[in-house]
Amino acid sequence: MSDTPPPIKQRPETAAASAPASGWAIELEQINKRFGAVQANKDIDLKVGRGTIHGIVGENGAGKSTLMSILYGFYTADSGTIRVNGTRQAITDSRHALALGIGMVHQHFMLVDNFSVLENVVLGAEDSGFIRTSLDRARSELDRLEREYELEVDPDALIEEISVGQQQRVEILKALYRGAEILILDEPTGVLTPKEADDLFRVLRTLREQGKTVIMITHKLREIMAITDAVSVMRQGEMVATLKTAETNAGEIAELMVGRHVLLDVSKGPATPGEKRLEVKDLVVKDDMGITRVKSISFSVRAGEIVGIAGVSGNGQSELLEAVTGMRDQHGGQVILNGQALSLKGDDGAARARMAGLAHVPEDRQRMGLVTDFSEWENAILGYSTRPEYGAGPILDIAAAKAKAAEQIERFDVRPADINLKTALFSGGNQQKIVLAREMDRDPEVLVVGQPTRGVDIGAIEFIHNQIIKMRDAGKAILLVSVELDEIRSLADRILVMFDGQIVGEADPATATEGQLGLMMAGVVEERSTT
């Protein structure tokens, strides 16, 4: 085996490519992975220096987890090479990865709740069929690891009795016990309190001092800046840059993550805001895990204006949208529609919100906005099926529903114009038009739109943007949430930036620069001059 490295294509933005003194722990070259028609990873190059903490950032769906799963042997790459400590490897499964010294701490812990810490550590790594000897050996080994890395956990405590932060330590201990030299952490702070996160960082620094390599997947820039030595940014399946953390800043990373898309210019006149249509007061929302995602947010949207909420995804926008539209319980605060406080508690809150004149184009049309197995006309009445226009009594007036669907399809130029076609068979852009047509058709006072052009082709994007502006000019109040910064900048009349469940700033799209917004999205708040 010759040790001559193959020529490496250097991307201009890749600054951290010079080999560190200790060599590379991981070298990935030209990794490709495709799921059906989705290219999850595209020509990915990544080098991680031994004994460093390397951050991988990117939005949801950027391909971070796929890449790490390839490294850990969950998936096999379609093409590309992996080198671990300089030697080329074909990692076939996670057992193989472990043997190479690669350990992974998953976002959702893989622990047996009613086992003790010790039993969990040993599980799957027993010495023999008899558990006693393994446990004894593990106890002394665990003791050593805990002292060496300052990872105090009571080995006899049950998992269900210890805190989430401690459970994570058990996961790290599990990996170390199996001899991991390279540790992959997937969104490690997602479930931690700030205090627990700080403890984790202390542990990670100790690991680094002891010569371990840490790869951390996250979309939180604060963590990247706080702890990593180098950071790689991924976007839509591609590696867009690898930077030395010391030589960059949160704003730059945020811009790289969100990307600067070439967007068609949207022509719109000045807004003429009227009275308040949608008012959100001190809204608190928790996610399904019980973690507070929206932390006392207040804002309002007036008739005839588009308020855009910008931010890196995962900062509470989804939960905010769902709470405002009645899909998710509020845990505090108020949502006021047309001056009327809406009680959105209960699992039919969305129906009450609609009755009050709110229409909702959801972030994820396939998961929420459509029943993809239904025909087009059946989706054209989703959320409105109980209206008298579709039959006065309990019987559904299918003829009326079909007529209305045909009308909508024509007005929004949905292709193919076939109301009996299964919705799953329409393209992404046309599916989105189906949702928009349905929601805009009732002339709502308030329109809440999440990621209106995600996965939509250029032609449809322009159409959708124009429709949204038309609604604004008709005097409707529009709340727009998008992770596409350019979309927010070109559509919104006011921009609110959300970070970590809070609105950290307001900006005027006409004057705010991308850099300023990027900083706010990264949670770096300067002296702001909001009115």
Partner 1 sequence: MSALKPLPRWADVALLPLLNLSLAILVSGLVVLMIGQNPFMAIWAVITGAFGSGYNIGYTLYYATNFVFTGLAVALAAHGGLFNIGGNGQAYVAGLGVILVALALQDTHWLIVAPAALVAAAVFGGAWAFIPGYLQAKRGSHVVITTIMFNFIASALMIYMLNRVLKPAGVSGPESAMIAESGRMPKLGSFFAPFNYTPVNISIFIAMLALVGAYILIWHTKFGYALRVMGQNPTAARYAGISNSRMIIITMTLSGALAGLVAFNEVLGVQNRLVLDFVADAGFVGIAVALMGRNHPFGIGLAALLFGALYQGGNELQYVISGLDRTVVVIIQALVILFTGAMEGLFRPGLQRSFMLFSPEQKAEAVAVSTVKTEN
Distances (CA, A) of 171 to 168, 301, 405, 468: 5, 45, 52, 47
Interface residue with partner 1, options 138, 231, 350, 461 (CB under 8 A): 350
Binding map of partner 1 across residues 371-410, x = CB under 8 A, - = no contact: xxxx---x--xxx-xx---xx--xxx-x------------
Write down how long the chain is.
531
Binding map of partner 1 across residues 8-47, x = CB under 8 A, - = no contact: ---------------------------xxxx---------
Residue at token pair 């207040």: 298
Residue at token pair 């009275």: 275
Cα–Cα distance for residue pair 87/99, rounded to 1 Å: 14
Tokens of 136: 């004894």
Helix, strand, or coil (residue 254): helix
Smallest separation (angstroms) from partner 1 to the CB of 391? 7
At 352, give phi and psi (nearest 5°).
Answer: -70, -40
Interface residue with partner 1, options 90, 399, 425, 458 (CB under 8 A): 425
Smallest separation (angstroms) from partner 1 to the CB of 132? 36
Residue at token pair 């622990």: 111
Check: CB of residue 446 under 8 Å from CB of residue 301. yes
437 binds partner 1 (CB under 8 A): no
Q: Which is nearer to partner 1, 207 or 435 (CB)?
A: 435
Interface residue with partner 1, options 93, 152, 247, 348 (CB under 8 A): 348
Smallest separation (angstroms) from partner 1 to the CB of 384? 8
Interface residue with partner 1, options 101, 165, 369, 444 (CB under 8 A): 369
Cα–Cα distance for residue pair 509/310, rounded to 1 Å: 11
Interface residue with partner 1, options 236, 296, 338, 366 (CB under 8 A): 366
Smallest separation (angstroms) from partner 1 to the CB of 165? 27
Q: Name the one range near partner 1 by CB under 8 A: 75-83, 138-146, 153-161, 368-376.
A: 368-376
At 130, give phi and psi (nearest 5°).
Answer: -95, 130
| Distance in angstroms between the alpha carbons of the first and the last residue of the chain | 66
Check: CB of residue 52 under 8 Å from CB of residue 213. yes
Write out the binding residues for partner 1, residues 304-333 only, by CB under 8 A. 325-327
Cα–Cα distance for residue pair 356/428, rounded to 1 Å: 29
Helix, strand, or coil (residue 500): coil
* Among the listed residues 72, 141, 522, the one whose alpha carbon sits nearest the alpha carbon of residue 315: 522
452 binds partner 1 (CB under 8 A): no
Interface residue with partner 1, options 75, 149, 412, 426 (CB under 8 A): 426
383, amino acid identity: G
262 binds partner 1 (CB under 8 A): no
363 binds partner 1 (CB under 8 A): no
Q: Which is nearer to partner 1, 213 or 408 (CB)?
A: 408
303, amino acid identity: A
Q: Which is nearer to partner 1, 336 or 382 (CB)?
A: 382
Smallest separation (angstroms) from partner 1 to the CB of 427? 5
450 binds partner 1 (CB under 8 A): no
Cα–Cα distance for residue pair 197/223, rounded to 1 Å: 9
Smallest separation (angstroms) from partner 1 to the CB of 78? 11
Write out the binding residues for partner 1, residues 84-103 only, by CB under 8 A. none
Q: Which is nearer to partner 1, 260 or 345 (CB)?
A: 345
What lies within 8 Å, CB to CB, of 381 at 6+ separation is 390, 401, 404, 405, 438
Q: Which residues here bind partner 1, judged by CB under 8 A?
A: 35-38, 325-327, 346-354, 360, 362, 366-374, 378, 381-383, 385-386, 390-391, 394-396, 398, 424-428, 454-455
